[in-house]
Structure 1
């Protein structure tokens, strides 16, 4: 298996995880709800800091949907230095959130995870560039652009493999868009729900290409647990899925109550940014297969395509089966 970006990404985060002060919570732990009912305590780790992009999880907390399902849920935010797969594998959280290709890579590395829900049918990840640049396809980015991506980004390997882009163009994305803002020949990873809005506020207009439109389309912000926890606590996973499904449906119906709640958790957020993100998210969350089968749904075909692509790119080994990596059993 290829030893490059994915290995360095996983290795760096293992060291980070050992310093996290999370308290392990199992299904045997319980607290009491308002009516005295015992609540099962679990911890979830998100993929990023508090944001409207994880509306289902935060709306469930806001409206008490977790408690309605018999759960007391602690939400630990993710971020650029947090590996949710390692945290869940270590037993310091029951549920994690990551991109589908990250989940597959973790399973390939021997971490026994299983995905059971996806927030995004179509990942919001993309590559942005200055609006005045003559870029219409990913191949156009091969014309002298410096492309900033996070270490370990599976889509970068795919773009190098399937387009005219070369490895020499890659620069490490630090989360700071200062370089991008001042360099017309820079292109950068982004979430369509976030960076274009903030840059526009600074007077910098951008266009973008969604990674999913390149032919590489992992599910975004996938929820997962360990196989052992799922087998021993299916009722907890079912209760959790019920709660976040209620959260997503409530958000679709009326997103505004969530905005001040997110701002309490992450004061740098604004209502304007979240309104923008909400508009961008509609088809990404509720479109595709979710339009027919409901939010969170995943298909065998999508997972198999992703597995095949990662094997071809030598990011994961051959032999991983769809049945090992995901289930729809908890979805309505």
Structure 2
């Protein structure tokens, strides 16, 4: 059984690597991804039974008739952000968009459209995302870039340039992220297997959040571009984005219909989708 990731082995996937699949009668092959990995298409087409996607990808897929279902949402707060130098003295996202400079960001994504609609891009020169490359951040004072708050900001501190990070969620756009998903057909055909997968992953995240050291050492062998110190710092930084009052009472990865409905409404307003999507059909809180 395969689980397709949408990025390289990093702490955002720690719980998947820590999961005791054998305990639940499963054999799981985890396949790393990369920038632009088409995980939503892969899981929707049945190429893989499970994949990591984002909440907005699920809504867009369902609007297009691709019946993908969210099973567990690792990040309750979206870890995507915008990073610039702290020395610029910017305090809010509004400050960033109202101050002339360069912003490296992938265009055409829903959060990019949301930010453009809310703040406008008139003051900024928008350039392609460097996907983790800090070369221009290192050399340009007025430069900002999209980031994963558990990744690039840590790298920025390593090179001695303190970052100021603004969560995209602060804008009001906060889809679930690092979402374990399957197809509706696979869920209906294999309910016990899916339940076992979710239980294994949830236990894996409990283990990883409690002590990530062993899993970090394993992932570091798969992804030698990140050292163990950065693995540890990233694992610690993501905790408040994963654990909330809701997850502490209902279980890690819990999702609500209200959150899905808010996302659907935002995507319709942005004209990202033009067909109705049922919030209750976007997700299934398995084993709760």
TM-score, with structure 1 as normaliser = 0.82
Choose from 86, 109, 128 the match for 2:41: 86
| Local SS of the residue matching 2:51 | strand
| Local SS of the residue matching 2:37 | coil
Counterpart in 2 of 1:50?
Answer: 9
1:145 to 2:98 alignment: no
Counterpart-to-counterpart distance in 1, 2:101 and 2:260 = 31
Give, in angstroms, the shift of residue 164 of structure 1. Answer: 4.0
Give, in angstroms, the shift of residue 292 of structure 1. Answer: 2.0
Counterpart-to-counterpart distance in 1, 2:123 and 2:194 = 41
**Partner deviation per Cα, 1:37-60 (whole Å, 9 max, x = no partner):** xxxxx1111121011111110001
Choose from 180, 185, 191 the match for 2:142: 185
Choose from 260, 269, 272 the match for 1:303: 260
Counterpart in 2 of 1:102?
Answer: 57
Where structure 2 has 5 or more consecutive residues not aligned to the other structure, the ranges are none
- Looking at CA atoms only, which structure, 1 or 2, has the larger radius of gyration? 1
User: For residues 95-174 of structure 1, what are the structure 2 equivalents within 5 Å?
Assistant: 95-142=50-97, 143-166=99-122, 169-174=125-130
Counterpart-to-counterpart distance in 1, 2:57 and 2:177 = 10
User: For residues 218-229 of structure 1, what are the structure 2 equivalents within 5 Å?
Assistant: 218-229=175-186
Q: Runs in 1 of length 4+ with deviation above 6 angstroms?
A: none
TM-score, with structure 2 as normaliser = 0.95
Aligned length: 286
Counterpart in 2 of 1:73?
Answer: 28
Choose from 212, 216, 222 the match for 2:173: 216
2:202·2:253 contact (CA, 8 Å) conserved in 1? yes
**Residue 331 to residue 186, structure 1, CA distance change in 2 (3 Å):** farther
Counterpart-to-counterpart distance in 1, 2:205 and 2:88 = 37
| Local SS of the residue matching 1:199 | helix
Counterpart in 1 of 2:195?
Answer: 238
**Partner deviation per Cα, 1:290-330 (whole Å, 9 max, x = no partner):** 122110100011110010001001011241111221111x1
Give, in angstroms, the shift of residue 168 of structure 1. Answer: 6.3
Higher RCO (Cα < 8 Å, 6 or more apart): 2
